[in-house]
Amino acid sequence: MSDACELIRRARPGEEVEITAMIRELAEFEKASHECAVTEKHMHTALFGDRPVAYAHLVEVDGQVAATAVWFLNFSTWDGVAGIYLEDLYVRPAFRRRGLARKLLSTLAAECVEHGYSRLTWAVLNWNVNAIALYDAVGGKPQTEWTTYRVSGAELDALAGETG
């Protein structure tokens, strides 16, 4: 495994095909593929459109796309600066246990340091013990005092309808 040639870099236009495929693979892994409606067009617009709202890094191993990290900037009012929110980190099964996830986290941490961002934040499913072990190992701290909420679908439409 140490003989493999690895390259971590920002995604480029056209690579939304691989990124979308990995997002779908992640949704399947998370037992939520029925909730995943993303298309290559969505990802192209989000990553490479006139006003990108997300960014992605890819890991290549011997020329094959092995992993991705999709992220966006958020803002801390308490720190007064931006941070990175890691939306998805996915390593394809054939490339796991090589340290690629840790290298992606390190790359995003370096992005934070380089740009003066104060945080790197992400969420993990409670049952994903392998990911939790990695996040603990890199010094991640679970934010147990916070509960994440989401409004989507019909509830989002109903809430938006209250503006009138």
Q: Are 11 and 35 in contact (CB under 8 A)?
A: no
Q: Is 90 a catalytic residue?
A: no
Catalytic residue among 85, 117, 135, 149: 135
In whole angstroms, what is the distance from residue 1 CA to residue 105 CA? 20
DSSP secondary structure of 100-153 = HHHHHHHHHHHHHHHHT---EEE---TT-HHHHHHHHHTT----TT-------H
Known catalytic residues?
135
